[in-house]
Amino acid sequence: MILYGGKLSPFVMRPLLVSRAKGAEVALAAFEGGIKSEAYLALCPTGKMPLLVDGDLALPESQVIADYLDQVLPGPAMVPADPRTAALVRLLVRLVDVYMVPSLGGLFRGREHPAGVPDALKAMGEALGYIEHYRRADDPFAVGERFGMADAAMIPVFFFLDALDGPMPTRALVAARPGVAGWWERAKASPLGAQAIAEQAEGLKAMMAARAQG
Ligand SMILES: N[C@@H](CCC(=O)N[C@@H](CS)C(=O)NCC(=O)O)C(=O)O
């Protein structure tokens, strides 16, 4: 099984985290020729990372891959059996994808398109508010007592709220939601979270260096 993509991408880090949490880290590789090559597009017409190749299966989309890995790998389930708790996990994942991710794009492009930043900050604040509303404030992890699917979706996206802070007040958006802020501090201090964040930081540094070179 090979997961194609780079560790900076929150969509690549999500299934990678799932595999790590299950104790069976999936092999990660950059696709030879890149994600816009004919060979890649033949497997993954969206031309986006990640792509999981497992034998004759070529599976795109981070959450679909994360769910697949949760089912095929041994180790603890990333979504609990209890239907209500499972629904909460899936809801947080969906809030990340539907509300956080689009505004993250606006923040990430902030340097080139500063006019879009205020709207993106507003939308990100609202998205964090939705998560604050639904999360059970006393849960140490995103949901429940141990690392699960919602942590895998949230951690690599929250990384950017720390990383982009400075020119944009993205940390303050998190700090304004105390339940979410507490979770983020614990997530960063956890072994899986700390490793993911260090790897994303390394990826961001490499991307900035490449951009600076032209
Ligand atoms: N909905 C997709 C989003 C994947 C995505 O946007 N990946 C980015 C990297 S962070 C990408 O490959 N972008 C390249 C492009 O859009 O050309 C998922 O969840 O996997």
What separation in Å is there between the alpha carbon of 48 and the centre of ligand 1?
Answer: 4
Domain of 24 in residue numbering reads as 2-72
Give the residue, by CA position, lying nearest to ligand 1 atom 12. 48
Residue 202, in any domain of the structure: yes
For residue 61, which atom of ligand 1 is closest to its CA? 20
Distance CA 30, CA 44 (A): 14
Give the residue, by CA position, lying nearest to ligand 1 atom 14. 48
Same domain, 62 and 91: no
Residue 60 pairs in a beta bridge with 51
Does the structure show a pLDDT above 80 at 214?
no
Same domain, 186 and 95: yes
At 7 the pLDDT is 96
What separation in Å is there between the alpha carbon of 82 and the centre of ligand 1?
Answer: 31
Same domain, 170 and 113: yes
Same domain, 147 and 61: no
Residue 153, in any domain of the structure: yes
Same domain, 139 and 37: no
The pTM is what? 0.97
Per-residue pLDDT tens digits for 32-67: 999 999 999 999 999 999 999 999 999 999 999 999
What percentage of residues in the chain have a pLDDT greater than 70?
Answer: 100
Angle (CA) 188-190-194 rounded to 5° is 55
Same domain, 117 and 158: yes
Residue 14 to residues 53, 91, 130, 169, Cα–Cα distance (Å): 16, 16, 20, 25
**Best of 4, 11, 14, 16 for a ligand 1 pocket test (most atoms within 8 Å of beta carbon):** 11
Write the DSSP string, 121-171: HHHHHHHHHHHHHHS-TT-SSSSSSS--HHHHHHHHHHHHHHHTBTTB-HH
- State which of 48, 72, 96 marks the end of a domain: 72
What separation in Å is there between the alpha carbon of 177 and the centre of ligand 1?
Answer: 28
CATH number at residue 201: 1.20.1050.10
Same domain, 136 and 176: yes
Task: Give the other-Cβ count within 10 Å of 115's Cβ.
Answer: 8
What percentage of residues in the chain have a pLDDT greater than 90?
Answer: 95
- Span 132-148, mean pLDDT? 97
Residues in the chain: 214
Which residues lie with the beta carbon below 6 Å from any ligand 1 atom? 9, 11, 35, 47-50, 61-62
Same domain, 205 and 115: yes
What average pLDDT does the chain have?
97
At 131 the pLDDT is 98
- State which of 31, 46, 72 marks the end of a domain: 72
What separation in Å is there between the alpha carbon of 162 and the centre of ligand 1?
Answer: 20
Per-residue pLDDT tens digits for 89-122: 999 999 999 999 999 999 999 888 999 999 999 9
- Span 172-182, mean pLDDT? 98
